[in-house]
Amino acid sequence: MKLAIIGTGYVGLPTGVGFAELGNDVVCVDKIANKIERLNSGELTLFEDGLEDLFRKNVQSGKIRFTLDMQSAVRGADVVMLAVGTPPHPITKEADLQYIYAAAKELAQYLDGYTVVATKSTVPVGTGDEIEKIIREVNHDADFDVVSIPEFLREGFAIHDFFNPDRIVIGTNSERAKEVMLKLYAPFVDKFPLLIVKRRSSETIKYASNAFLAMKIHYINEMADFCEKSGADVLEVAKGMGMDTRIGKKFLNPGPGYGGSCFPKDTNAMAQMGRKYGSPLSLIETTIAKNDERKAKMGQRVIETIKSHPEGKIAVLGLAFKGGTDDCRESPAIDIIKEMVKYSHNVCVFDPKAMENARLILGDSVKYATSIEDACGNADVMVILTEWEDFKHIDLIKIKQKMNRAKIVDLRNMLDADTAVKAGFEYRGVGTNRQ
Ligand code: UGA
């Protein structure tokens, strides 16, 4: 099938490459000339595990191409997917829909023949109706349907998740659009659950899912605090809870709070929708407030370790909002570092992938190391903020010799507490009471 994908970010690009790999002809549109040039020459513009090989292969075979020209992409397309950002409005925290509405307005002029306009971006309930109205206003004669197909890709696992979805959700009341979407998703149909629902339900499923996962994280984080006070071990508690299939073992890892471009944005937008419809979502409201508080609290936890020697060096390992990505948007690590630099001029940071993105936010407020060893040299405390696999394998005996003081604050429980203590470290994890 012929697909046009508007937006080449963390959603549009993996989605485009995935559909190209399945044999479709994909054209991706973006507004940034330099990005389009790089992508067409086979250079990836973001880091996503497993994407590079598939991307190159499909660029070389011509199954995917990139353009600034909306018209050439949309003309003749069977499906036009909207995968542009819906960032939070700086004041109201509602999803800012200006980019998606602008894209809808622009693409409307070029629709020819029956086209399904499918929204992949995360959009508030009712946005499909608005998009439909906008397209109709611009192009009275257009033959189209607007469908909601929320994406459930996790950053860092986008390619894995694209080819192995837990479910595919299609929101439409139109039989014609349903046929087109079933053709597009035919390679998945007998292998994975596919749910066809009302468009408004589909829009809500995405927010309700992300908010639920954020709540689950908040829950285990509070449980971690409780374990620290009560003498239990949250890792054991999470294991025991997760064995109940009704609860499930995923998303029960305590940490510094959730972050990223999705959970903070989507919980806020969902809470805002609850207020708008006069149906308050109190669990989500609490989750948001407590997650914000947590980052400040975790910053304080680090500062405590150098209070007696304020000039001491803090070595930070991890900047991305989670492991497996270079993305620092709404990263708890960044917020926690901002807390640290209020007290310390000696914060040195390292991340295997996210240095460039972090530098754009943190600027000169911290020093940038070239490796774990470089960051930890003469440090008074090592702080782990992102769950990178590399950090699990740090040679603690070797690294201790390079450090000034042997202290670890492990906000991702990456290290084995007993090994750290045996190596002579004063160790503090999250909710584990092993120190
Ligand atoms: C999330 C959802 O998991 C995807 O299903 C969804 O498609 C995506 O948002 C989106 O809306 O586009 P993502 O933002 O990539 O994916 O990240 P997650 O893996 O869900 O992690 C989010 C945050 O929660 C990270 O900061 C992570 O470290 C934290 N987390 C996750 C925990 O603190 N504990 C856990 O047990 C799990």
Per residue in 122-140, pLDDT (tens digit) is 999 999 999 999 999 999 9
Q: Which ligand 1 atom is at minimum distance from the Cα of 256?
A: 33
Mark which of 156, 181, 197 sits at the end of a domain: 197
Whether residue 231 is contained in a domain is answered as no
Q: Which ligand 1 atom is at minimum distance from the Cα of 10?
A: 12
Whether residue 233 is contained in a domain is answered as no
Given a contact cutoff of 8 angstroms between Cβ atoms, the answer to whether 390 and 372 are in contact is: yes
Using most ligand atoms within 8 A of CB, pick from 121, 151, 247, 322 the residue to mutate for ligand 1.
Answer: 322
The whole-number pLDDT of residue 93 equals 83
Cα distance between residue 198 and residue 278, in whole Å: 21
What residues contact residue 204 under an 8 Å CB cut-off, 6+ apart?
125
Coil/strand/helix, residue 342: coil
Burial of 342 (C-beta count, 10 Å sphere; 0-12/13-18/19+): exposed
Do 417 and 270 sit in the same domain of this protein? yes
Residue 229 has pLDDT above 90, yes or no: yes
Quote the ligand 1 centre to 263 CA distance (angstroms).
Answer: 7
In the set 262, 328, 348, 376, the catalytic residue is 262
Quote the ligand 1 centre to 155 CA distance (angstroms).
Answer: 8
Question: Quick check: is 262 catalytic?
Answer: yes
CATH at 321:
3.40.50.720
Strands 194-197 and 314-317: unpaired
Whether residue 375 is contained in a domain is answered as yes
Using most ligand atoms within 8 A of CB, pick from 258, 288, 412 the residue to mutate for ligand 1.
Answer: 258
Nearest CA to ligand 1 atom 13: 154
Q: Which ligand 1 atom is at minimum distance from the Cα of 325?
A: 15
Do 282 and 368 sit in the same domain of this protein? yes
Residue 324 has pLDDT above 90, yes or no: no
Average pLDDT over residues 374-397: 97
Using most ligand atoms within 8 A of CB, pick from 168, 204, 210, 328 the residue to mutate for ligand 1.
Answer: 210
- What the block records as the tokens of 100 is 């998606």
User: Within a 10 A sphere around the Cβ of 373, how many other Cβ atoms?
Assistant: 15
Do 151 and 58 sit in the same domain of this protein? yes
Whether residue 277 is contained in a domain is answered as yes
Residue with tokens 């609490």: 286
Do 185 and 298 sit in the same domain of this protein? no
| DSSP state letter for 302 | H
Do 185 and 290 sit in the same domain of this protein? no
Cα angle value 201/205/210 (rounded, 5°)? 160
Do 287 and 424 sit in the same domain of this protein? yes
The whole-number pLDDT of residue 434 equals 62
Residue with tokens 């950090």: 391
The whole-number pLDDT of residue 181 equals 98
Domain span at 55: 2-197
Mark which of 172, 197, 222 sits at the end of a domain: 197
Nearest CA to ligand 1 atom 19: 154
Whether residue 230 is contained in a domain is answered as no
Whether residue 331 is contained in a domain is answered as yes
Cα distance between residue 262 and residue 87, in whole Å: 9
pTM: 0.94
Burial of 200 (C-beta count, 10 Å sphere; 0-12/13-18/19+): middle
| DSSP state letter for 95 | B
Do 193 and 276 sit in the same domain of this protein? no
Do 339 and 421 sit in the same domain of this protein? yes
Q: Tell me how many domains the chain contains.
A: 2
Residue 291 has pLDDT above 70, yes or no: yes
Average pLDDT over residues 72-93: 93
- What the block records as the tokens of 391 is 């950090």
Q: Could you tell me what percentage of the chain is helix, strand and coil, using 3-state DSSP and rounding each to the nearest 5?
A: 45, 15, 40
Residues with CB under 6 A from ligand 1: 122, 151-155, 210, 213, 217, 251-253, 255, 258-260, 262-263, 321-322
Question: What are 368's strand-pairing partners?
Answer: 349
Do 276 and 137 sit in the same domain of this protein? no
Give the ranges where 142-278 is alpha helix by DSSP (H): 158-163, 175-184, 199-230, 234-242, 263-276
Average pLDDT over residues 259-284: 96
The whole-number pLDDT of residue 90 equals 84
Do 187 and 286 sit in the same domain of this protein? no
Tens-digit pLDDT profile for residues 27-51: 999 999 999 999 999 999 988 889 9
The whole-number pLDDT of residue 94 equals 86
Quote the ligand 1 centre to 429 CA distance (angstroms).
Answer: 21
What single letter denotes the amino acid at residue 154? R
Q: Which ligand 1 atom is at minimum distance from the Cα of 266?
A: 11
Cα distance between residue 433 and residue 435, in whole Å: 6
Do 20 and 121 sit in the same domain of this protein? yes
Cα distance between residue 407 and residue 410, in whole Å: 10
Average pLDDT over residues 201-208: 98
The whole-number pLDDT of residue 165 equals 97
At 395, the pLDDT band (50, 70, 90 cuts) reads: very high
Residue with tokens 């750290």: 420
Sign of CA dihedral 47, 49, 52, 58: negative
At 319, the pLDDT band (50, 70, 90 cuts) reads: very high
The whole-number pLDDT of residue 13 equals 96
Whether residue 354 is contained in a domain is answered as yes
Residue 435 has pLDDT above 60, yes or no: no
Do 170 and 297 sit in the same domain of this protein? no
Q: Which ligand 1 atom is at minimum distance from the Cα of 321?
A: 26
Q: Which ligand 1 atom is at minimum distance from the Cα of 158?
A: 15
At 107, the pLDDT band (50, 70, 90 cuts) reads: very high
At 382, the pLDDT band (50, 70, 90 cuts) reads: very high
Tens-digit pLDDT profile for residues 156-195: 899 999 999 999 999 998 999 999 999 999 999 999 999 9
Whether residue 232 is contained in a domain is answered as no
Element (H, E) at 340: helix 332-341
Residue 433 has pLDDT above 80, yes or no: no
Nearest CA to ligand 1 atom 29: 258
> Given strand 79-82, what is the order of strands in its sheet?
64-67, 25-29, 2-6, 79-82, 115-119, 144-148, 168-171, 194-197
Name the average pLDDT for the chain.
Answer: 96
Residue 232 has pLDDT above 60, yes or no: yes
Quote the ligand 1 centre to 60 CA distance (angstroms).
Answer: 32
Quote the ligand 1 centre to 180 CA distance (angstroms).
Answer: 30
Burial of 182 (C-beta count, 10 Å sphere; 0-12/13-18/19+): middle
Quote the ligand 1 centre to 321 CA distance (angstroms).
Answer: 9
Quote the ligand 1 centre to 214 CA distance (angstroms).
Answer: 8
Cα first-last separation, the chain? 58
Mark which of 197, 227, 249 sits at the end of a domain: 197
CA dihedral 240, 252, 411, 369 (to 10 degrees): 130
- What the block records as the tokens of 97 is 């829909």
